A = this chain, B = another copy of it.
């Protein structure tokens, strides 16, 4: 069954009434001085300004009636309110935008105030990210990296099948889709006994990931039960975890990735809620060995989200598809990630970001980064005639993600970034 809005929504749009992803926008080159960022949802080619709807009292349910959560410049307050508030917001917005509901449909002034063409707005980061964690949850990615660096015998480290491996990432350098990425400089080390050299990264890569946005947090010292973890996840975004493989290779022993990652991480502006993704849920892969009890969930769920990475090189008109993968390939679920992250008492806070790790699939054309696709630069890709191992200056990388429903799509839009040359 397809929901119908009075706002025109193309059949291929990522943003029908079934989706309603949340974001933060400002009006571009506004006439009004000091235009503040506001929460919104996407509908077709429009953003729907929730601060306007809240101001006129149309959020009249018990959780949202007296809340200023839609008068904030980030979504942190709203995502921290939890599932009952999210449900109430979704029901209210679906009703207000429905073709059968006259409140907005028949009120031209309110429509004009609340529905703004996407071309007139700029999207910002949806939440203030207190901490960002990146997991390593694709078995295919873990295995390929292991084969490349340690050989096929010890491809996957023994701990990998027992716990969702992760590291703390850098929150300050997370940027929203569309932000240019400056090629990082740093130390690298050629093979053998030669000294390290310094310069712009020669092995700049993307990583196809998604990330969970934390809803209500947990108190320091109080773990989240794996079977209640879904209530702590507001939704998902697309994420490109840009990686400088040469910097990373030289620095990461023994304390993990640092400057090879922290020069920039791009996320999509739209958070698609777990409620919108629910029709696309599917069984997660069977886990063997069986995880320890704190990771064993009654209902082990993934989502069927088709992912694609395209690249457009400087001077080329055409994009090339680099890879096609799917969120459902992940071995460790996002609820297991939350349970593991908090089992030691670590506190998550609303708006925190939990990256999945590179989402590689089983096939050679479903690998989630150039490291795997070119086997660490050994095999060139062919981009409409141009050879490519790692990213070149001017390359624009575009991630997309979409769930295909019966007569509609629930999508994430795009997550893109262009490589600028290293500075001085």
Contact = CB atoms under 8 A, between A and B. Distances in A.
Contact of A198 (B198, B247, B292): B292
A67 interface: no
A220 interface: yes
A383 to B, nearest CB: 26
A343 interface: yes
Contact of A157 (B165, B254, B258, B289): B254
A256 interface: yes
A352 B259 contact: no
A340 B250 CA distance: 14
B264 A168 contact: no
A245 interface: no
A166 interface: yes
B259 A256 contact: no
Contact of A256 (B220, B257, B343, B345): B257
Interface stretch (A33-41, A181-189, A316-324): A181-189
A259 B339 CA distance: 12
A223 B185 CA distance: 10
A244 B346 CA distance: 13
Nearest to A250: B159
Copies in the complex: 2
B344 A244 contact: yes
Given A252-B256, A344-B259, A187 B163 contact: yes
Interface string A184-199: 1111010000011010
Nearest to A218: B172
Interface residues of A, number: 63
Interface string A204-245: 000000000000010011110000000000000000000010
Contacts of A250: 159, 163
A250 B289 CA distance: 17
B423 A159 contact: no
Nearest to A349: B172
- Chain B CB within 10 A, most for which of A159, A254, A264, A348: A254
A293 interface: yes
Given A198-B294, A263-B346, A170 B131 contact: yes
25 contacts: A130-B130, A165-B254, A165-B255, A165-B258, A166-B255, A167-B168, A167-B255, A168-B168, A168-B169, A171-B171, A172-B220, A172-B352, A173-B346, A182-B220, A184-B344, A184-B345, A186-B344, A196-B292, A198-B292, A198-B294, A222-B423, A259-B341, A262-B344, A262-B346, A263-B345
